[in-house]
Amino acid sequence: MQFGLLAGIIGFSIVHQPWYTFIPLAVLGSLLPDVDHENSKINRMFPLTRWIPTIFKHRGFFHSIFPAIGIWALFHFIGYDIIGIPLAVGYLAHLASDCLTRMGCNLLYPITTFRIRGPIMTNGAMEYAVFFIVLALNLFFAAKNFL
């Protein structure tokens, strides 16, 4: 979620969309890849999605770039880039953060088995350090854009 917030704060000025729609949608988009995890925030927020982990494995299809492309394409073709772009940006921010972990992500699942893996162990000291760095960046860019 922190990466989605950072992507939203940086992204709205790049694509010239209103911050009050872009940032919340980017944060929401950053929650979407974990719809394949039974205890995820997105599944607690939207109980209708709780069936998804029974069909899809965690860090499988929903942790590839294809859902982000599909979200963007859907909203683009119906003329709502103001929704599709920030959702896709947040989605991709989540994938980028997951690529930093040892479990990594297969961004082209199911086409390939190649995973991008980083050095960060989930719930380890380095994850908390990255969390505070991203939090500081969020505060910096928020102050820069809003003060």
In total, how many domains does the chain have? 1
Comparison of pLDDT for 147 and 70, the residue scoring more: 70
The residues facing 105 across adjacent strands are: 116
CA distance linking residue 48 with residue 73, whole number of Å: 23
Q: Is the pLDDT of residue 96 over 90?
A: yes
For range 97-108, the mean pLDDT: 96
Q: Please tell me the pTM assigned to this model.
A: 0.94
The model's pLDDT over 31-77, given as tens digits with 9 standing for 90+, comes to: 999 999 999 999 999 989 999 999 999 899 999 999 999 999 999 99
For range 94-118, the mean pLDDT: 96
**Domain range enclosing 80:** 2-146
The model's pLDDT over 122-143, given as tens digits with 9 standing for 90+, comes to: 889 999 999 999 999 999 999 9
Q: Is the pLDDT of residue 78 over 90?
A: yes
DSSP for the chain, written as a single string:
-HHHHHHHHHHHHHHT--HHHHHHHHHHHHHGGGGGSTT-HHHHH-GGGTTHHHHS-TTSGGGSHHHHHHHHHHHHHTT-HHHHHHHHHHHHHHHHHHHTBSS-B-TTTTT----B--SBPTTSHHHHHHHHHHHHHHHHHHHHHH-
